[in-house]
């Protein structure tokens, strides 16, 4: 009897551990650290556990340089998740030495802890392109020489190998990136929302310069639309959650502590009540509306509008746009739990 009880307890512990592992959701960001105003800071990649809302690991990419993308490129290779982060030093970039350009990069495995695979630099080189489109297992990349017109890595579609070396795998068409559809009406380019997306939802900027979410039919005709921009008092974040089959639009406060007094916006100045609006993606009917948590006065996001990421049960948006390149500002991560409709703000470094 005692052995059976012991066995049941052990099985229970194992099941709890497996559930905890499955529940843990990782999110990765690039950020500046160890810096103050008008000082050069280190470039880090950090791992965030969304279930505990904590930074679980960080890895130094470079001691200086301008972060090219706020999130690392993510590649699945032989069952492992690889991360690629780049920083460019030189010229008149933020967080850079004035002088010849150079590029620092790091490739790591995004496991429970960040494991460095390769870290290197390229002298007399400038980043021409570095981006990754939603849900794609490759990134668009290009590095050119500053000494002549010869490309070091021609602009194209790349992945990496197990040694962390860049590998060219295809040609990139800048006029029609992955997930983008050309359209007529009042919208020129339609960008696919979070995948999988069986509702054929797209985002776009209209001729009125406002942000819209569009519902297309099988013939790619627009059958419904929803404006997602509120007003200049708030930042607007949006996401489609496939498992919930719901469309989320967030209106949150921001501060602007930049260079110009006429655009300054301090804590509690011209404030709104932060909220989330939840819609039926098939009809755009409003299903729910909830107040959500605000940030505190010491840690604030800037004014941004954009699509958030969906990671398991969470909707995540990383505020990283710069108010003024000569200063550093808090880098804030917005985390929303779709099970509880609760929002959390986490400072992850400097932007």
216 inside domain: yes
Shared-domain flag, residues 284 and 229: yes
Q: What confidence score (pLDDT) does residue 127 get?
A: 96
Q: What confidence score (pLDDT) does residue 6 get?
A: 40
Q: What confidence score (pLDDT) does residue 39 get?
A: 67
Backbone angles phi, psi at 79, to 5 degrees: 80, 5
Per-position b or e across 214-236, b if 16+ CB within 10 A of its CB: bbbeeeeebeebbebbbeeebbb
Average pLDDT of the segment spanning 54-59: 96
pLDDT band at 299 (very low <50, low <70, confident <90, very high): very high
Shared-domain flag, residues 329 and 203: yes
Q: What average pLDDT is seen over the chain?
A: 88
Total Cβ atoms within 10 A of residue 151: 14
**Final residue in a domain of this structure, among 178, 205, 222:** 178
24 vs 197, which has greater pLDDT? 197
Backbone angles phi, psi at 65, to 5 degrees: 120, 155
Report residue 300 CA to chain centroid gap: 17
Average pLDDT of the segment spanning 214-240: 88
Q: What confidence score (pLDDT) does residue 70 get?
A: 97
Residues with Cβ within 8 Å of residue 14, at least 6 apart in sequence: none
Q: What confidence score (pLDDT) does residue 37 get?
A: 55
Q: What confidence score (pLDDT) does residue 17 get?
A: 32
Shared-domain flag, residues 139 and 262: no
Distance CA(250)–CA(29), nearest Å, equals: 21
Residues with Cβ within 8 Å of residue 30, at least 6 apart in sequence: 43, 44, 45, 46, 61, 67, 69, 70, 71, 72, 85
92 HSE (CA, 13 A, CB side):
2
- Residues 116/60, Cβ–Cβ less than 8 Å: no
Whether 302 has a pLDDT exceeding 90, the answer reads: yes
Give 78-88 pLDDT, tens digit per residue.
899 999 999 99
Q: Which domain holds residue 121?
A: 25-178
Q: What confidence score (pLDDT) does residue 38 get?
A: 59
- Residues 202/213, Cβ–Cβ less than 8 Å: yes
Shared-domain flag, residues 31 and 105: yes
Shared-domain flag, residues 86 and 217: no
Give 136-181 pLDDT, tens digit per residue.
889 999 999 999 989 999 999 999 998 999 999 999 887 777 778 8
Distance CA(328)–CA(33), nearest Å, equals: 10
Shared-domain flag, residues 140 and 172: yes
Shared-domain flag, residues 184 and 174: no
Q: Which of 25-39, 203-217, 226-240 has the lowest mean pLDDT?
A: 25-39
Give 305-339 pLDDT, tens digit per residue.
999 999 999 999 999 998 888 889 999 999 999 99
Question: What is the enclosing helix (H) or strand (E) of 4?
Answer: helix 2-23
20 inside domain: no
Shared-domain flag, residues 206 and 164: no
1 inside domain: no
Whether 22 has a pLDDT exceeding 50, the answer reads: no
Shared-domain flag, residues 35 and 155: yes
321 inside domain: yes
Q: Domain count of the chain?
A: 2
**Final residue in a domain of this structure, among 158, 178, 198:** 178
Q: What confidence score (pLDDT) does residue 60 get?
A: 94
Shared-domain flag, residues 211 and 221: yes
Distance CA(279)–CA(287), nearest Å, equals: 5
Q: What confidence score (pLDDT) does residue 221 get?
A: 84
Distance CA(274)–CA(194), nearest Å, equals: 23
Give 238-250 pLDDT, tens digit per residue.
999 999 999 999 9
Residues with Cβ within 8 Å of residue 89, at least 6 apart in sequence: 62, 64, 65, 66, 96, 97, 101, 102, 103, 104
Shared-domain flag, residues 294 and 345: yes
266 inside domain: yes
Distance CA(50)–CA(248), nearest Å, equals: 18
Shared-domain flag, residues 166 and 90: yes
**Final residue in a domain of this structure, among 178, 208, 225:** 178
Q: What confidence score (pLDDT) does residue 4 get?
A: 45
7 inside domain: no
Rounded (5°) CA angle 130-57-141: 10
297 inside domain: yes
Average pLDDT of the segment spanning 98-113: 92
Distance CA(140)–CA(129), nearest Å, equals: 7
99 inside domain: yes
pLDDT band at 24 (very low <50, low <70, confident <90, very high): low
């Amino acid at each position: 009897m005692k052995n059976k009880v012991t066995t049941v307890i052990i099985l229970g512990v194992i099941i709890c551990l497996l559930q905890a592992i499955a529940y843990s959701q990782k999110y990765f960001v690039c950020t500046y650290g160890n810096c103050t105003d008008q000082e050069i800071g280190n470039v880090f990649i950090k791992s965030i556990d969304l279930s505990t809302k904590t930074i679980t690991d960080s890895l130094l990419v470079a001691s200086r340089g301008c972060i090219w993308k706020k999130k690392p490129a993510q590649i699945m290779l032989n069952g492992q998740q690889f991360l690629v982060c780049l920083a460019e030093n030189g010229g008149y970039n933020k967080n850079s030495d004035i002088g010849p350009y150079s590029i620092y990069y790091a490739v790591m495995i995004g496991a429970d802890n960040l494991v460095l695979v390769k870290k290197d630099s390229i002298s007399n080189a400038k980043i021409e392109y570095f981006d990754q489109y939603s849900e794609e297992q490759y990134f668009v990349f290009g590095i050119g020489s500053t000494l002549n017109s010869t490309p070091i890595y021609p602009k194209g579609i790349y992945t990496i190998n197990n040694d962390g070396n860049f590998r060219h795998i295809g040609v990139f068409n800048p006029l029609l990136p992955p997930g983008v559809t050309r359209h007529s009406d009042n919208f020129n380019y339609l960008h696919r929302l979070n995948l999988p997306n069986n509702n054929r939802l797209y985002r776009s900027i209209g001729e009125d310069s406002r942000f819209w979410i569009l519902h297309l039919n099988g013939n790619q005709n627009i059958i419904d639309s929803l404006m997602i921009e509120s007003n200049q008092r708030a930042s607007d974040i949006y996401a489609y959650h496939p498992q919930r089959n719901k469309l989320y639009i967030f209106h949150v406060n921001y501060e602007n502590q930049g260079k110009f007094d006429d655009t300054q916006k301090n804590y509690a100045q011209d404030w709104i009540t932060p909220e989330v609006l939840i819609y039926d993606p098939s009809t755009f009917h409003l299903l729910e509306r909830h107040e959500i948590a605000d940030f505190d006065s010491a840690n604030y996001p800037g004014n941004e509008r954009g699509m958030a990421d969906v990671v398991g049960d969470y909707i995540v948006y990383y505020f990283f746009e710069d108010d003024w390149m000569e200063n550093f500002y808090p880098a804030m991560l917005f985390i929303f739990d779709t099970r509880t409709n609760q929002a959390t703000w986490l400072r992850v470094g400097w932007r």
